[in-house]
């Protein structure tokens, strides 16, 4: 039997990698403007890290983690998200007392055993950021604004920033009880999943995707009407700061997020063009997680973006300059030309130029066809005549113009003029 890739994972092929590299380059451009530095973390961790941070009653921990015993008998989990690992690294490496808020970003694969469908994979990639050490609300607003700037730079239209406040330990326990009481009145109208979990996690009924739960949720009390005074003030400041710099947003009182570590500001960026899995980005404030994982009290704010969803939304121009093409394609005819092509390719690459060539000594016509397919900027033609005269033919593939040049002249003919960046 032919072995195939596992359900819910994707290959990112060489002909589409430029899209990923472009997104990554924009992250490397925009995030440092706000003081973020990259951090690279392990892909697997001690299982307890995720169950303690994401929450035992969340879908992720209850049914979506890739957990296994390693050969030493330890329980290991492939990371379902990045925040827990960043917090673990922060504590383990004692990254305390930075000169200002500690800001880090990361990119890489995450793993969740979800039911695969359009926009939902079992291995997917995120780019995420975490800012550690400020209770906000300025950090909250700066970071949400940064996401919107990042997505705008990538050419995304029709996206919406939705915000909510999840309050704090002061107001949430009473609200949960109130919510449970109200949900019980509609228990026969809920989906099976919510019926089973509302006692443990009543807030999830609010953002359940099942239509019947959506109808019930409309009539349930809203957490933003039951916030403790400090959380209410925080939320009012977040809104006023967003207004002051003109970042458009809407308040979505049903937004609760699927991970338990959040408090106060929570947000998502959604697109109508994504179908039912419409969140490109989700995040918020998590002020108690560092302490819960036995670090010093450190209020934090962060988000993660789903890269597969992002790639599917960006209106890429398939003939874009972002696609890498060789500087030159070498066409060679005859044995002597073949060894000359070998030497020239070596010399040009050593000078920093990218070179493709024919390896099979196909006919001139077929080699020229390949040159076109590679979309090289130039084609260099080496045949018997050219070897005899010492003059090679260099064809500019854009203009169609051909010129004769010596091997010494090649580098300067092919090199692109320096772009003045001033
Ligand atoms: P999350 O909402 O679970 O948050 O994931 C963030 C984004 O990852 C989603 O908005 C979505 O675009 C993408 N995503 C999630 N699951 C899948 C999937 N199965 N297939 C494809 N894409 C997916 C977090 O992960 C938090 N750690 C975010 C955060 C950082 N909060 C604070 N700091």
Span 350-378, pLDDT tens digits? 999 999 998 888 898 999 999 999 999 99
pLDDT digits 0-9 by tens, 143-173: 999 999 999 999 998 999 999 999 999 999 9
pLDDT higher than threshold 80 for residue 38: yes
H helices of 55-113, where? 59, 83-92
Cα 259 to ligand 1 centre (Å): 10
Residue 110 backbone phi and psi in degrees, to 5: -125, 160
104 Cβ below 6 A of ligand 1: no
pLDDT at 57: 85
The closest-lying atom of ligand 1 relative to the alpha carbon of residue 279 is: 10
Q: For a substitution probing ligand 1, which of 134, 140, 282 has the most ligand atoms within 8 Å of its CB?
A: 282
Contact 305, 280 (CB under 8 A): yes
Q: What is the pLDDT of residue 304?
A: 98
Is 70 exceeded by the pLDDT of residue 113?
A: yes
Answer whether 68's CB lies under 8 Å from 41's CB: no
Tell me the whole-structure pTM to 2 decimals.
0.93
Tell me what the mean pLDDT of segment 200-217 comes to. Answer: 90
Average pLDDT over residues 191-197: 90
Which CATH superfamily, name and number, covers 17-171+227-313?
Bira Bifunctional Protein; Domain 2 (3.30.930.10)
- How do the domains of the chain map onto residue ranges? 17-171+227-313, 328-414
Q: Above 70 in pLDDT, residue 340?
A: yes
d(CA 4, CA 173): 48
* Cβ atoms < 10 Å from Cβ of 63: 10
Cβ 245 vs Cβ 141: under 8 Å: yes
| Predicted local distance difference test score (pLDDT) of residue 418 | 54
- The DSSP element (H or E) to which 86 belongs, if any, is helix 83-92
Task: Count CB atoms within 10 A of the CB of residue 17.
Answer: 12
Asked, as a colleague might, if the bond just before 137 is cis with ω within 30 of 0, I would say yes
CB of 283 closer than 6 A to ligand 1? yes
Residue with tokens 């959604």: 270
pLDDT for the residue 240:
98
For residue 227, count other CB atoms closer than 10 A to its CB.
23
Please say whether the dihedral angle defined by the alpha carbons of residues 329, 331, 337 and 338, taken in this order, is positive or negative: positive
DSSP state of 120: B
Task: Quote the pLDDT of residue 417.
Answer: 62
* pLDDT band at 277; cut points 50, 70, 90: confident
Q: Is 137 in the pocket of ligand 1 (CB under 6 A)?
A: no
The kind and range of the H/E element at 77 are: strand 75-78
Give the residue with greater pLDDT, 169 vs 275.
169
| Lowest-pLDDT choice from 53-67, 209-223, 242-256, 404-418 | 404-418
Task: Decide whether any atom of ligand 1 lies within 6 Å of the 82 Cβ.
Answer: yes
Distance of CA 163 to the CA centre of its chain: 20
What is the whole-number distance in angstroms between the Cα of residue 57 and the centre of ligand 1? 17
- For ligand 1, say whether the CB of 126 is within 6 Å of any of its atoms: yes
Q: Report how far apart, in Å, the C-alpha atoms of 365 and of each of 357, 358, 378 are.
A: 14, 12, 16
How far apart are alpha carbons 293 and 119 in whole angstroms?
Answer: 32
Whole-number percent of the chain with pLDDT over 90: 85
HSE, side-chain direction, 13 A CA sphere, residue 206? 22
Angle at CA 109, nearest 5°, toward 252 and 265? Answer: 25
Dist CA 302 CA 286 (whole Å): 8
108 with 43: CB under 8 angstroms? yes
Write the residue with the smallest CA distance to atom 23 of ligand 1.
Answer: 306
Mean pLDDT to the nearest integer, 183-211: 91
**pLDDT on residue 421:** 44
User: Looking at the predicted structure, is the pLDDT value of residue 298 above 90?
Assistant: yes
Write phi, then psi, for 107 (nearest 5 degrees).
Answer: -140, 145
Averaged pLDDT for residues 312-316 = 92
The CATH superfamily holding the domain 328-414 is Anticodon-binding domain (3.40.50.800)
Q: What is the pLDDT of residue 422?
A: 45
Q: Whose CA is nearest to atom 1 of ligand 1?
A: 282
**Averaged pLDDT for residues 93-112:** 96
Comparison of pLDDT for 64 and 58, the residue scoring more: 64
Atom of ligand 1 nearest to the CA of 80: 25
Q: Terminal CA-to-CA distance of the chain, rounded, Å?
A: 59
Q: What percent of the chain has pLDDT over 70?
A: 99
> Distance (Å, rounded) from C-alpha 221 to C-alpha 42?
41
* pLDDT beyond 60 at 91: yes
Which residues partner with 86 through β-bridges?
A: none
Which pLDDT value is given to residue 317?
Answer: 87
Cα separations in angstroms, 263 against 9, 170, 269, 394: 32, 11, 18, 64
> How many angstroms separate the alpha carbon of residue 279 from the centre of ligand 1?
8
Q: Cβ distance 222 to 171 under 8 Å?
A: no
Q: Mean of the pLDDT values across residues 98-103?
A: 94
């Amino acid at each position: 039997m032919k072995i195939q890739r596992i359900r819910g994972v994707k290959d990112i092929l060489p002909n589409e990698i430029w899209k990923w590299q472009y997104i990554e380059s924009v992250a490397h451009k925009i995030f440092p403007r706000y003081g973020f530095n990259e951090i690279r973390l392990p892909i697997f961790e001690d299982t307890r890290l995720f169950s303690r941070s994401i929450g035992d009653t969340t879908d992720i921990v209850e049914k979506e983690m890739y957990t296994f015993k390693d050969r030493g008998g330890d329980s290991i989990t492939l990371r379902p998200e990045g925040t827990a690992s960043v917090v673990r690294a922060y504590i383990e490496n004692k990254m305390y007392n930075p000169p200002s808020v500690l800001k880090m970003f990361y990119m890489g694969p995450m793993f969740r055993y979800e039911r695969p469908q359009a926009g939902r994979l079992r291995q997917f990639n995120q780019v995420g950021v975490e800012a550690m050490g400020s209770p906000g609300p300025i950090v909250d607003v700066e970071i949400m604004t940064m996401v919107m700037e990042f997505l705008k730079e990538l050419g995304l239209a029709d996206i919406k920033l939705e915000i909510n406040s999840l309050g704090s330990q002061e107001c949430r326990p009473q609200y949960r009880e109130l919510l449970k009481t109200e949900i019980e009145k509609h228990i026969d109208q809920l989906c099976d999943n919510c019926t089973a979990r509302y006692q443990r996690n009543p807030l999830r009924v609010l953002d359940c995707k099942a239509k019947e739960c959506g109808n019930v949720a409309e009539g349930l009390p809203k957490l933003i009407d039951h916030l403790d005074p400090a959380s209410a003030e925080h939320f009012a400041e977040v809104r006023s700061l967003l207004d002051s710099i003109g970042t458009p947003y809407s308040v979505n009182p049903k937004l609760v997020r699927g991970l338990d570590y959040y408090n106060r500001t929570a947000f998502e960026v959604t697109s109508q063009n994504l179908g039912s899995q419409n969140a490109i980005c989700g995040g918020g404030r998590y002020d108690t997680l560092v302490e819960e994982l036995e670090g010093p009290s450190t209020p934090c704010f962060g988000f993660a973006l789903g890269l597969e969803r992002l790639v599917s939304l960006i209106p890429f121009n398939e003939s874009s300059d972002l696609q890498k093409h060789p500087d030159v394609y070498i066409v060679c005819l005859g044995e002597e030309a073949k060894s000359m092509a070998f030497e020239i390719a070596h010399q040009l690459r050593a000078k920093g130029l990218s070179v493709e060539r024919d390896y099979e000594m196909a006919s001139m016509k077929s080699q020229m066809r390949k040159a076109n397919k590679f979309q090289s900027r130039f084609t260099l033609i080496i045949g018997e005549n050219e070897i005899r005269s010492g003059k090679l033919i260099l064809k500019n593939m854009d203009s169609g113009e051909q010129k004769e040049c010596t091997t010494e002249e090649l580098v300067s003919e092919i090199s692109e003029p320096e772009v003045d960046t001033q």
